[in-house]
Chain A
Amino acid sequence: MASPPSQQSRSLSAAFELIVPWLLPLLLLAAWELAADRGWLSARVLPAPSAVIEAGWRLTVDGSLPHHLWASTQRALVGFAIGGGLGLALGFLTGLSRTASQLLDTSLQMIRNVPHLALIPLVILWFGIGETAKIFLVALGTLFPVYLNTYHGIRNVDPQLIEMARSYGLRGPSLFWQVILPGALPSILVGVRFALGLMWLTLIVAETISATDGLGYLAMDAREFLQTDVVLLSILLYALLGKLADLLAKSLEHWWLRWHPAFQSKRNR
């Protein structure tokens, strides 16, 4: 901007920036509502957004939606904690030790190339259709993005910085906490964001195959009774939950990477 913007125009442009990403979804929603209202779209194919909201309200009031939502969230979080934690630990191990990387990396890369959803039949044979199977799948899905990005993050820490820190007396844990981990963090967080996406994807597949609760079950159950509005509701909820997880990861990025020029807001510079 050529001239320094006034306080008012700055807050206006900030508000504008906040609204712009939502313009297209809102527009689509309005068109959809109109089409359903005029009868251009059959309620069997695509019920109106208002009908979806109504279904949401109905299911919230009778307590089934919170129940399913909580069941799914629990699985997602437990699976992600196990998979992400394991990926992080393995990434640290192979990133920091050449022996570990020689020993493990090839095997991990081979396993990584098997689509984890292809394991579903095997997982059902192993664990049946209980909670373990779903959590196992989520953990498997989230492990590799976190592992890969942690490993590469650590390997790509500027060797000049490590050399400098060593020559200034940093060793072992203090070198790790002060130099290696912060240097790898941007890459690790990219892995976390990938993993969060895969977390929901894996969960929906796992839940549509075999479950007695959860969002995936809700959608499959509604399909049997031709409740298109409930099916749509659960799909929209997945979108919202995915966005929420991404927002969480983004805010972590903003806090942890606040030193990074790309994450510094104009106000702080």
Chain B
Amino acid sequence: MEFLFHFGEVFTLTSMLLLIGGTIGGLILGATPGLSPTMAVALLIPFTFQLEAVHGLILLGAAYTSTVAGGAVSAILLKIPGAPANIATTLDGHTMAKKGQGARALQLSFIASLFGGLFGVFLLIFLTPVLAQWALAFSYSHTFWLAIIGVAVIGSLESSSVVKGLLSGCIGMWLATIGFDDIQGAKRFVFHPALSGGINIIPALIGLFAIPQVISMFAKGRFDTSVEQITVEKHPIGEAFREVFRRFRALGVGTVVGSIIGLIPGVGGQIAGLVAYDQSKKFSPEKAKFGTGHSEGVIAAESANNAMVGPSLVPLLTLSIPGSPTAAVLLGGLIIHGIFPGPKLFDTYPEVIWPFINSMLLGQILMCVFGIYIASFAARVAQVPQSVMAAIVLGLAVYGSFAVQQSMNDVYVMAALGAMMFFLERFGFSAAPLVLGLILGPIAESNFVTGNQISLAQDGPAVYFLTGTLNLTLIAIAVVSIGYSLWSEISARRAAS
């Protein structure tokens, strides 16, 4: 119950202003098609430099929570999911809106997000210290394997093909080795002066997530952006609450499915909504109504999306393995504030981590309240022409990258990585494993090098890294994860042919 002792730190003026600002900003960004939660959090990181670590994390946490929920606004009112996580919400949400029930669909979506999100954050509060206690037994070899698992799992799940995902992870880990080696002080792979300081995580994150979106917007040309927006009629909020409770089956299925998916490293929120929608349909006595504007569809999908947020941080905070691409970006945010996730995190930084988690609890409530009241406004913002959006994102990406170290080199690296990622994405590669390789690469390397030095005084590297129950368990997890993904890919291809 330690988290209760740190609630006071969330109710300071600065924390509350950041929480409210992050929530409202996140809802608007989330509602804007093309601005994914991952990209929104990446673009916000440079703004946290001037803040204390706890305040920076509160801002990022609020943005993460509300961008996921905000995506439902454009999914329901415009039939354009704000993020891939909201695809399932369009199925029934937009149909409800077309029937004149837009306000009802939005209210159900935010209330379901509130309950799912609260459950997810409570899981984060109670599971994280337990897992952290267990992770205290980890040595250098175990931490090395954990970093490899992080890259392998996201790599095998996030790309169009398992091998391409793993290849992206390798590219990320290689990029992380550019610059001066920590131990020998040797220059590695520095083929341009801009790279002599290595690749800074923040410009890389901004480039890899924001620039491909900007180029994609360019690639659409001067198209007409007029989207049919549905008028939102008033609907009593009390009735929406009663309906969510009446549909407790959909709420329960969505919340449980979202939480489980969030806990699995790498799976992320993109599939939580779709899996919960599918499972809710299977368990519902009104299966035929799904897809025709049925409230259970919206409740299941949105409760799952937000239930995923808290649990996706459990493996991140305890084992440095992010549960979703956005959690991977949050890992970058933690590291730039000098906070390295791991089993000792709650002992070393309780004054930062507990207020951050508590703010997410409060953030769920704020997200619901503001979400319901600014949904119509957010939907209007979502109609901003893509030309303006592309120019805004490019501007923020350039200024955000420059602000990190006040260096043009970071801007060049950001632009080069972003352009490279755009072309890689066109050929089935994904940014998430590359980013994770870039973030976890230094952790893997430092633990590998230290472990290797220890092993030379013992029985050698092979024994140190490849024997022992925990080492073998971690290796097995990586192999099974990759094997399962390969099997799924082959099965899907056979089914398609």
- Bound pair: A and B? no
Chain B residues packing against A (C-beta within 8 Å): none
Chain A residues packing against B (C-beta within 8 Å): none
